[in-house]
Amino acid sequence: MRFETPPRKPLPIDFGSRHITIDGESVKVFLFVATLGYSRRHCVRAFCHEHQSAWFAGLEGAFRHFNGVPEQVLLDNARALVDHHNEANREVVFNERLSAFARYWGFRPVACAPYRARTKGKDERGVDYVKRNAIAGRTFASWAALEAHLIWWMREIADQRVHGTTGELPAVRFVAEQASLQPLNDRVPFEQARELSRRVQRDATVEVDINRYSVPWRLIGDPVQVSVTDGELRVHHVVP
């Protein structure tokens, strides 16, 4: 018997990786996917890694995309999020910063049972759907082009398809679900920062908000993570 999620149930999140051709080169991209359990609306973001900062940036992006915060977030047992999960008694010790992040946004983290991906199956199927439908066979001129494509794909394709299980459009079904989400209340990001994934271009620059910023020439072609905090921009080299 299939279990149908009522509107107030957890938001499953997950990462999946795929090599994508960006600016003529094969790049390993980590795709963050959040899938609302009732409407099946997706939020997808691309990162150079799946460190804790990417999980947080992905979740905050999902909260903004859905214009609300769910009561619970269902996550796997990634080291960036869970310090310990006892399979025998199901005792979970969440990472201290994740706990602080959850308190700030007002949701309760829930870890799926170890080695039982089925408890988070809706999102894992969502990752596969994103890979097949949004990414497969496509190349991109830049990381910014990939991000723009994902925004378009979420709005024009994923939200407007007839879902195979519900028989409804996710965008239509979301109307009933939105009322169950907590308001954002103009909260700023947890770390007052934006985390952006970029690739250093041939002129030794990275592009952020149509502006170009110079970096050391030795980073040409390498992936970097850009942090923007209170008007200050920092570029971190992502070590393969």
Query: In the structure encoding, which two tokens stand for residue 49, read together?
Result: 């890694």
CA–CA separation, 103 and 95 (whole Å): 12
156-177 tens-digit pLDDT: 999 999 988 778 999 999 999 9
- The average pLDDT across 37-60 equals 94
Pairing of strands 139-140, 232-237: unpaired
pLDDT at 231: 66
- Give first-to-last CA distance, the chain, whole Å: 44
pLDDT at 89: 65
pLDDT at 238: 80
95-117 tens-digit pLDDT: 988 998 999 999 999 988 765 55
pLDDT band, very low/low/confident/very high, at 1 (cuts 50, 70, 90): very low
Q: Of 18-27, 74-83, 107-116, 132-141, which range is least confident? A: 107-116
Q: Is pLDDT at 182 greater than 90 in this prediction?
A: yes
For the chain, percent of residues with pLDDT exceeding 70 = 88
- The average pLDDT across 11-32 equals 95
CB atoms within 10 A of CB 209: 9
pLDDT band, very low/low/confident/very high, at 227 (cuts 50, 70, 90): confident
Q: Is pLDDT at 188 greater than 90 in this prediction?
A: no
Q: Is pLDDT at 36 greater than 60 in this prediction?
A: yes
Cβ–Cβ under 8 Å, residues 17 and 28: yes
Q: Is pLDDT at 56 greater than 50 in this prediction?
A: yes
122-139 tens-digit pLDDT: 544 789 999 999 999 999
pLDDT at 225: 87
CA–CA separation, 181 and 113 (whole Å): 25
Q: Is pLDDT at 141 greater than 80 in this prediction?
A: yes
